[in-house]
Amino acid sequence: MTAETLSEARSYARTNTMLAAMLEFDGEQHPVSVRNLSASGAMLDGRQLPLEGQSVVLYRDEHRIPAQVVWTARNRCGLSFGVHVKVDHLIKRPKASGIAAPPPSHQARVDAIQRALRENRAVPSFQESEALVGAAAVGKRLVDEIGYAHRLVERVGEDLTGDSYVLTRYALVLQQLDEAEQLLRKLSNELSAEGANGRC
C-alpha cells in the first residue's frame, strides 16, 4: 500500500468499538475484536493475526469484507478495506422482520459492561453472565479482556517512561502503573495456561 493510499484510508472518521468478528487468512478463520472502525479500515485485536501485506477477509454477522493488512504490532493489526463500508451497519446487529436480532451472548456481556462503565454503575456479576453464556465462554472472554488490558497498560507505561519529564515528576505513579501491568500479565498468563479453570 502506498503512503498516499494509507493517508487516504486514515482520513475517514474512526469509531471506537469492541465488536466480536472473525478474520480469515491462510485458509482459516480466527476470532478477533474490532477496536476501532471507519468506512475504509479497522484496527483489530487478537491472539492469531496475519502478517503485514496479507490479504484477508473480515466477517461480522452477514458482512464479508475483503481487506489488506497494512500494519501489525504485537497482538494488533490495521486493515485497509477493499470496499467502503457503512460503519453503522457493521455495529448494528442484523434485523429480521424489522426487529433487531439479539447479539450473541458474549457480545451482550461486553455491551452490558460498556454501558455500566459509561453510566458509572456496577459491572454485571459473573453469575448473571454464566446464566447467559456458561462459565467456559465467560472464562474465554475474561482471558481476552485481561490480555487486552495488560497490553494497553504496558503500552501506556512504555510511552510515559520514555518522557524524562514525566518520569521525573510522576515516578511513584509510574511505579504503580508498572505494578498494575505486572499483575495483569500474571493474571493473563495464569488464565491462558493450558488447563486453567474457565479456559475454552
Q: Is the pLDDT of residue 160 over 50?
A: yes
Same domain flag for 83 and 21: yes
**What pLDDT sits at residue 56?**
97
| Domain identity same for 85 and 113 | no
Same domain? 85 vs 31:
yes
- pLDDT of 47 reads 86
Give me 192's grid cell. Answer: 491462558
Tens of pLDDT, residues 65-95? 999 999 998 889 999 999 998 888 888 755 5
Same structural domain, 14 and 66: yes
Q: Are residues 124 and 157 in the same domain?
A: yes
- pLDDT category, 43, cuts 50, 70, 90? very high
pLDDT tens, residue by residue, 101-153: 555 555 566 666 666 766 777 766 655 555 555 555 556 667 777 877 777 77
Supply 183's cell numbers.
499483575
Percent of the chain with pLDDT over 90: 22
Residues 127, 109 contacting (CB under 8 angstroms): no
Mean of the pLDDT values across residues 158-163?
A: 76
- Give one word for 40, left, alpha or beta, with left for phi > 0 and alpha for psi -120 to 50: alpha
Domain housing 156: 105-192
Tell me, yes or no, whether 169 and 116 share the same domain.
yes
Answer with the one of 66, 91, 116 that is the final residue of a domain: 91
> Considering its fold, how many domains does the chain have in total?
2
Alpha-carbon gap, residue 13 to 168, rounded angstroms: 36
32 with 85, same domain: the answer is yes
Residue 26: pLDDT band with limits 50, 70, 90: very high
Residues 66, 116, single domain; the answer is no
Domain stop point among 91, 115, 132: 91
What is the structure's pLDDT at 134?
52
